[in-house]
Chain A
Amino acid sequence: NAGVTQTPKFQVLKTGQSMTLQCAQDMNHNSMYWYRQDPGMGLRLIYYSASEGTTDKGEVPNGYNVSRLNKREFSLRLESAAPSQTSVYFCASMLGLAVYNEQFFGPGTRLTVL
C-alpha cells in the first residue's frame, strides 16, 4: 500500500496562475483533509471531506476549492494563486470517526507563488 500520495512534490507558480494539487489514498478511508503549513505555524485545515460526496470548509478556505472526485481522491485547486498561498500543503485521510482513528498524512507539496 502506498498510503497517501500527493502530486506534485514541488511547484512554482506566478501570481494569478492556477493549479490543482492531487491527493489519493489506497486505504479505503472515508475522510480526507487538506492542510497548509507556514513557517512558525502549525497545520491549518483548509477543507475536508467527511465522506465521498461531501466537502466542508476548514479554518482557512479562502482562495481554494476542493473536489472529492471519488472515495480515493481529493483535489485542492488554486484558481488564482497569490504569494500568500506560498506554503507546504499536506493531505491526510482517516478511516472514520476522528476520535478513535488516526489521520495518515501524505509527504506534502511545497508550493511557491512568485
Chain B
Amino acid sequence: AQRVTQPEKLLSVFKGAPVELKCNYSYSGSPELFWYVQYSRQRLQLLLRHISRESIKGFTADLNKGETSFHLKKPFAQEEDSAMYYCALLNTGNQFYFGTGTSLTVIP
C-alpha cells in the first residue's frame, strides 16, 4: 500500500528564514513524487515534480530513497510563499496519493 505523510499541519517561519516542509512516503515500487500548492482563493496547482529536478519559485525537493523522503526546501522564505502545500505520490497504476497538507505562514 502507498502512503504519504506530512507530519506538520502548520508551519510558521519569519520572512528571510529557511523553510523545510517534510514529506515521507511508503511505496514498494519506484516512486514519482510531486509537490502541489494552493494559495489563498486559488486552485490547487503543481509546484514541482521530482523527475524534472527543477527549482520553482526558489523551492527545491530532493528524493531520498533511503529515508523515503521528499522534503520541500527554500533558503529564504517570502511572504507570498504562505499557502497550503501538499506532497503527492504517483504509483505505477497512474493513481495519485496526496498527503494531508502543511499550511505554511511566512511572518513579515
Contacts and interface: CB of A to CB of B under 8 A. Distances in A.
A107 B43 CA distance: 6
Contacts of B99: 42
Contacts of B6: 42
Interface string A21-48: 0000000000101010000111111001
A99 B32 contact: yes
A10 interface: no
Interface size class of A (residues with CB under 8 A): 20 to 34
Contacts, number: 50
A58 B94 CA distance: 10
B96 A98 contact: yes
Interface of A: 31, 33, 35, 40-45, 48, 50, 58-59, 90, 98-100, 102-107
Interface of B: 4, 6, 9, 32, 36, 43-46, 49, 51, 86, 90, 94-101
